Amino acid sequence: MTRFADMPLKWKLLVVITGTSVLALALACAGFIAYELAAYRGRAGRDMDLRAAMLAAGGAPALAFRDEKDAEETLAVLKVDPHVIAAQFYASDGAIFASYARADARDEPPPRPESDGQRFSWDRQTTVRGVALAGRRIGTLRLVRDLGEMRRSLAAVLAISLALLLVSSLAALAIAARTQRGISEPILDLTRAAKANAERGDYSARARARGGAELGILVAAFNEMLDQIQRRDAALHDSQQRLALLVESTPLGVIVWGTDQRVLEWNMSAERIFGWSAEEAKGRTADLIISAPVWESRVKTVWENLLARRGGTRFTNENVAKDGRTIVCDWYNAPLIGPEGKVFAVASIVEDITDRKRVQDELQSLTAQLERRVTERTAELLTLNKELEAFSYSVSHDLRAPLRAINGFSSLLLVKKAEHLDAEGKDYLARVAEAARHMAEIIDDLLNLARVTRSTMQPASVDLSALARDAADDLQALHPERLVDVFIDEGVRVTGDANLLRLLLENLLSNAWKFTSLTTAPRIEVRSRVESGRRILSVRDNGAGFDPAFADKLFKPFSRLHSEAEFAGTGVGLATVSRIIERHGGRIWAEGAVGKGAVFHFILPES
Amino acid sequence: MPLSTPLLLTAVLALHAASAAPTPAGEVKAVFLFNFTKFVEWPSASFPAPSSPIIIGVLGADPFGGALEQTVAGETVNGRPLTIKRFKSLEELAPCHILFISASQEERVPEILRRLGRSETLTVADIDGFAMRGGAIQFRADSGRIRFEISREAAERAGLRVSARLLSLASVVRKRIP
């Protein structure tokens, strides 16, 4: 017999619905029959009690006076009773005193009366009752009733119940057969769709949605799930194709190794790199492309680390191509790990870097050569530079003596022999003196510049504010007629050579002083600010400014942006400034516009 | 009725002497005598008190032996106990509710009945023709069984009511007493 669990849903539903209703009805019928039986017994019991009471009363005198005939006559009334089939009076000594039996009674009275009460058997009801006279028991009455009537009535009830049961079972079956479709068909439909998916991978199969109840929702959810699976399937397919395309078209070799070192996958680039086709390579072990000494010395360890998931993911290695060439390859390896955390394969991406390595090596040797050459040239240049400096210093120095002579004697001439000179002569002489003075200035500046380059640095903490103030005071003393507003931030300390920094500020401030000489309300500021962690110092004026297009020429010696007639100068001051900043390892730059003033920013490295 | 102890003792002794051989018929009759008390109604005036005993008297030679005492021992009828009294002769006779007249008194029956007159006594005897002669109940043998005849008139004259159920068991004598 089929187990209930293995039955098709349709049969299950039929069995459940029909079984339940039949069981319910059967229980109801059984209950009804039991009730009927009990009720009948109750009625029959009361009925027989009454009869027994009447007969006992009627038979009492006969028992009292031992009149069997009379007792039998008393019992003979029962002939008109259709139910009672036998009756006996027992005397007080327990012997049968009188009896009555219908012809068809088949009753065998016991020799002694049973105890009082009602007894039911399948076809008999026996009633036993004492016969009393004046409160004293003088005998016993036994009545036997045939229960045929009850049996017939029960049989009728039973027949009706069975008929009802049959009819209602058929009705339940018919209703179940109709209603089960509403439940089983959507599920069968779902089952068909699920089977189509599971067995044929046909994700386009759909269950038909019905209504909005649970089954409808289930079917809709199932279809929605199928939609998602179908979409993911397509996306997976897509991504697999793209990956395959990528693997085939990449210039990198892609190789998948089994854990036994045998080649499982071998793409076109691997074919190109090693010369072995995929057909030749597949199934072969790693010694196809790795020489035994290389394997022993390097790759073996890498392989073991990979399998143990301890690394070995990237390394450069010498391999052997099919034609016997030794090639240098970069390897990127990754263990492929299965769902149980076990390594089931190793994937490698390989790049032939033989050419690149050769180019790299060549490049390296070229660079080294170049560097060597640069060093040599630099040394030569330094020597030359030193010689040049020494030369210019000595020239400047040596020029001073004749200049002093020119200056001195032209002064003497002017003072002592003035009367021998006419106005024109005096003018010429004054021009000689002026030229000599200017030349001396240039020589001083050149000497300063040279000193800046030659002097040894003595770095210390320097109060830049004090230096700036000193320089400003000197300028004011030199030009007492000028009225210039000077603002200097207090307490600005930097690290550097005090003498050079003094020279720096003297140059910057005298520059500003000079270019504000035509300004109506001249103003000079020395400021310090911190910007992105660095201290930026600046000297700003509102003087003549400069054309920013020529900003890069500002710091070159002897290059002047203004005519000598406008602003006197040697063109060496800002070059000196630039050289000082350079020697401190700092940086200087200028901002400005014609007529809008100029700002010189500079940075000195900390300590 | 209070009885003196010596008298009761004498009665018991006499009873013992007479009950040497109680016949089965005697036993049945004793039971019948007792049963009659359940089917006969005496006027309440015949009892001094509600719990006064029903007195069964035996006149003449006692045919029951001790059976009568055994039958009534411990019994009550309608709440009344039963007492047996024995009278040797008519002269000793005292009021009782049932009087069994022994066969030994057969010659004196008319005299006894006359003496009882209308007193509320149910007379019983197993003397042939007793009911015909004015007695109330007469035992007789009928094919080995004890049956009885009842003279309803005799009982009614004595002021007693006899149950129809008793009458239905008896042969009823319809002889008018002169």
What is the pLDDT at residue A293? 86
Amino acid at A20: T
CB atoms within 10 A of CB A464: 24
CA distance B130 to B173: 10
Specify the pLDDT at position A140: 94
Chain A CB contacts of B77 under 8 Å are 134
**What was the pLDDT predicted at A53?**
92
- Size (chain B), residues: 178
Q: Are A497 and A458 in contact (CB under 8 A)?
A: yes
C-alpha distances (whole Å) from B165 to each of A54, A62, A139, A278, B36 are 14, 9, 17, 132, 11
Cβ contacts from A onto B, under 8 A: 29
CB atoms within 10 A of CB B45: 8
Closest residue in B to A57 (Cα) is: B165
Q: Report the distance separating Cα A44 and Cα B87, nearest Å.
A: 55
Rg, chain B, Cα only: 15
Q: List own/partner pairs for A224-232 with CB under 8 A and 24 or more apart.
A: A226/A193, A226/A197, A229/A197, A229/A203, A230/A203, A230/A204
DSSP calls for B85-150: EEESSGGG----SEEEE-GGGGGGHHHHHHHHTTSS-EEEE-STTTTTTT-SEEEEEETTEEEEEE
Residues 523-552 on A with a CB inside 8 Å of B are none
Per-residue pLDDT at A209: 63
**Which residues contact residue A32 at a Cβ distance below 8 angstroms, ignoring those fewer than 6 apart?**
A157, A161
Domain range list for chain A: 9-166, 250-352, 355-454, 459-603
Distance from CA of B39 to the nearest CA of A (A): 9
**pLDDT-derived band at B18, boundaries 50, 70, 90:** very low
Extract the tokens encoding A556. Answer: 């070159």
| CA nearest to A229, candidates A203, A205, A207, A247 | A203
Buried b (16+ CB within 10 A) or exposed e, A143-163: bbbbbeebeeeeeeeeeebee
**Looking at this predicted complex, what is its ipTM?**
0.79
Q: Is A499 exposed, middle or buried (0-12, 13-18, 19+ CB in 10 A)?
A: middle
CA distance A101 to chain B (A): 23
Q: Are strands A263-266 and B80-87 parallel, antiparallel or unpaired?
A: unpaired
Chain A residue closest in CA terms to B168: A70
Task: Kindly identify which residue of chain A lies nearest to residue B75, measuring between CA atoms.
Answer: A136
Of B38, B145, B168, the CB nearest to A133: B38
- Please name the residue of chain A whose CA is at the shortest distance from the CA of residue B74: A136
Rounded to whole angstroms, how far apart are CA atoms A530 and A539? 15
| Interaxial angle between packed helices A423-454 and A354-416, expressed in degrees from 0 to 180 and rounded to the nearest 10 | 150
Q: Which residue has the tokens 């030994």?
A: B104
Neighbours of B53 (CB within 10 A): 20
Half-sphere exposure of A15 (CA within 13 A, CB side): 11
- Assign B7 a pLDDT band (cuts: 50, 70, 90): very low
- A66 and B166 within 8 Å at the Cβ level: the answer is no
Is A137's Cβ below 8 Å from some Cβ in B?
Answer: no
- CB burial of A215-246 (b: ≥16 within 10 Å; e: otherwise) equals beebbeebbeebeeeeeeeeeeeeeeeeeeee
Whether A67 contacts chain B with CB within 8 A:
yes
Cα distance between residue A588 and residue A507, in whole Å: 14
Q: Considering only CA atoms, give the Rg of chain A.
A: 66
* Residue for token pair 């079917």: A219
Residue B6 to chain A, least CA–CA distance (Å): 33
Domains A9-166 and A355-454 alike in fold? no
pLDDT at A522: 93
pLDDT beyond 80 at B20: no
Low-confidence ranges of chain A (pLDDT < 70): 1-2, 209-212, 312, 564-565, 607
Which among B28, B39, B82, B137 is the top mutation candidate for probing chain A, defined by the most A β-carbons within 10 Å of its own β-carbon? B39
Among chain A residues, CA nearest to B77: A134
Contacts of A131 (CB under 8 A, 6+ apart): A56, A59, A60, A63, A89, A137, A138, A139, A140, A141
Is the per-residue pLDDT at B52 higher than 60? yes
Query: What is the number of other CB atoms lying within 10 angstroms of the CB of residue A118?
Result: 19
Tokens of A469: 């103030």
**Residue A350 has what pLDDT?**
92
Q: Measure B77 CA to nearest chain A CA, in Å.
A: 6
Contacts of A405 (CB under 8 A, 6+ apart): none
Other CB atoms closer than 10 Å to residue A73's CB: what's the count? 16
Gap between the Cα atoms of A565 and A227, Å rounded: 90
Asked whether residue B22 carries a pLDDT value surpassing 70, the answer given is: no
Q: What is the CATH number of domain A355-454?
A: 1.10.287
Q: How would you class B43 by CB atoms within 10 Å of its CB: exposed for 0-12, middle for 13-18, buried for 19 or more?
A: exposed
Q: Rounded CA gap, A518 and A288, in Å?
A: 88
How much is the pLDDT for A139?
92
pLDDT tens figures, B96-108: 999 999 888 888 8
Specify the DSSP class assigned to residue A78.
G
Task: Give me the architecture of the A459-603 domain, per CATH.
Answer: 2-Layer Sandwich (3.30)
DSSP conformational letter for A597:
-
Query: Helix (H, G, I), strand (E, B), or coil: what is residue A423?
Result: helix
Given CATH 3.30.450.20, say whether it is the number of domain A9-166.
yes
pLDDT at B21 over 80: no
| CATH tag, A250-352 | 3.30.450.20
Report the residue from B76, B147, B166 with minimal CB separation from A61. Answer: B166
Of A61, A133, A136, the CB nearest to B169: A61
Using CA coordinates, name the residue in chain B closest to A135: B77
Which CATH class, in words, describes the domain spanning B5-173? alpha beta
Q: How far is CA A11 from the centre of its chain?
A: 49
